[in-house]
Structure 1
């Protein structure tokens, strides 16, 4: 591993591939923090193990664990799920929490470079210092860079993988609610943040939506709202109940999307994805969203919520991914941690 200084990934020709491009692997951090699922953590492992099983049907799965004891615990659940263990690689890279989308690295590709693959190690502060400590999480990209022997870029600002979405052709989408929140990078203006996005994700076209969904403690991550399903099409969540507290924000985002343009000047194809009915636990609304799906090589793994809209969401998404099988996995307990399958995973491209 070498820390890159001087030139940015953009200047060197690196880009951040879209999630629907082929993967070499998916990276995960095994859940272990009781405080993230208070009173419920024991219930999440069957769904999590099912997630790993589905991933392993099409790609390697690399899992960060604290030590041998945690590895054996994880292994017991994966055996119960009948996951293909020949595709699962454990790493004794300890973490504070499980949200690898946000504390993991951003993998970059440059087909013409001597070192084709590189990664970006952003600063991680647990969504505005909400859940300290996060020092172990903040080191994960360095461990992975060393393991993969790849160049490692260090922009030195706070950024989370769940806050951005790309189409692989030069467009990046994010939200003002998250990236302009003073609990991340208060010293940076909007235009300065855009420059970091261009320089380190290798994009040219930045699109901004507004607010996130109710219950999202990340201050409005895009991966609960709007996702690219191909280079010119997004699915975006909508709420049809005008009395629902998400109705107005989602309506504004959908209207904004209809006005935004891709890097080639074309309008975005928009497919509306329903929201489940509110999921409430201990008087708290949880950020349940079908948009928090993960696109793996063989499957699209979608959180479901024991809701009438589960099947409708799965059917809509299956229409978007004719080359993959769309699979719903129950996220009723998992969402108590305020995130689901996309929040838990980070793709490594080929």
Structure 2
């Protein structure tokens, strides 16, 4: 599995369509989605899945002139990082063979409807004419981070739940991800953010920004329930090493200063849910005092890329942000299995 900063052929996304899922806030969600899609499309093509004619008409009206291709696909929701394919590559650069792994998706342990979203990778395979591997295990893309050199990061709170792959141990996951994604060393953190319905995806708290550097979320208020969990993660990361046995460089990234609450309790806003593309990094912003300082932390870590802050105040009502709604397709030659 290539690192996210490797060159992309395209970004795949799904257009929001269900006002009930967005607690009656579909209009501001679509406005923020449109800004994100337009930003990504400035740098690379966007392959946009739309549920129905209304969704396509709405998206086309908002995205007029953007580098976007539209695909009619039955959808439950928009979190394509988790229900979409995970691309893998054999070789390097534009001549590499490209395929993907199709994991089962059960909406984070059966929390929501997922039958349509579980079939999205099969559509992508058809659209690209691409070979792929169907796996019986449940796994979401937001649950795994890679540096592109065989090092992976995940959380126990997510992978070890009994609603995903009962009985699969840390050692079992290590073997599985070595076989399927080329991860030779899998690092484990304990948990994620309070009230994260993904059970603590790694992409909401800790991210690789290059082959040897991670940013990790920290909470400065000792009274906040996130404080202790993030502090344990930080301490663990400082003891971890890469595949060569060298210590990781660990950079602290603040969580938003203000608590956000939604229709179902506390929301999990985070700046770690950024998306890295060709020449840019899109960073969620929440109208929070820490918006600017978070950008100040991230900009020096991405030389040669434009680090862009975009509003995610409406999108976070659904429980995720920019990384959760995107899936990169690396450059490479489509492998047909022949």
RMSD: 1.5
Equivalent residue in structure 2 for 1:99, among 79, 83, 90: 79
CA displacement, residues 300-322 of structure 1 (integer Å, 9 cap, x when unaligned): 11111111110000111111111
Unaligned runs of 5+ in 1: 1-15
Indicate if the aligned counterparts of 1:57 and 1:298 stay in contact, CA closer than 8 A: no
Aligned-pair CA distance for 1:219: 0.1
Partner of 2:122: 142
Partner of 2:110: 129
Equivalent residue in structure 2 for 1:315, among 288, 296, 301: 296
Indicate if the aligned counterparts of 2:152 and 2:185 stay in contact, CA closer than 8 A: yes
Indicate if the aligned counterparts of 1:115 and 1:150 stay in contact, CA closer than 8 A: no
Q: TM-score, normalised by structure 1?
A: 0.91
Partner of 2:234: 254
Aligned-pair CA distance for 1:190: 2.2
CA displacement, residues 188-232 of structure 1 (integer Å, 9 cap, x when unaligned): 222112211111111101000011101210000000110000000
Partner of 1:17: 2
Equivalent residue in structure 2 for 1:67, among 52, 56, 66: 52
CA distance in 1, matches of 2:38, 2:264: 33
Partner of 1:172: 152
Partner of 1:184: 164
Secondary structure of the structure 2 residue equivalent to 1:206: strand
CA displacement, residues 249-302 of structure 1 (integer Å, 9 cap, x when unaligned): 000000000011101111100110001021123472101000011011121111
Indicate if the aligned counterparts of 2:285 and 2:313 stay in contact, CA closer than 8 A: yes
Indicate if the aligned counterparts of 1:155 and 1:200 stay in contact, CA closer than 8 A: no
Partner of 1:5: none
* Pair 1:39-2:20 in alignment: no
CA distance in 1, matches of 2:18, 2:54: 15
Unaligned runs of 5+ in 2: 332-338
Deviant stretches of 4+, over 4 Å: 112-115
Indicate if the aligned counterparts of 1:60 and 1:88 stay in contact, CA closer than 8 A: yes
Aligned-pair CA distance for 1:128: 0.2
Q: TM-score, normalised by structure 2?
A: 0.94
CA separation of 1:115/1:349 partners in 2, compared to 1, >3 Å: closer, same or farther? closer
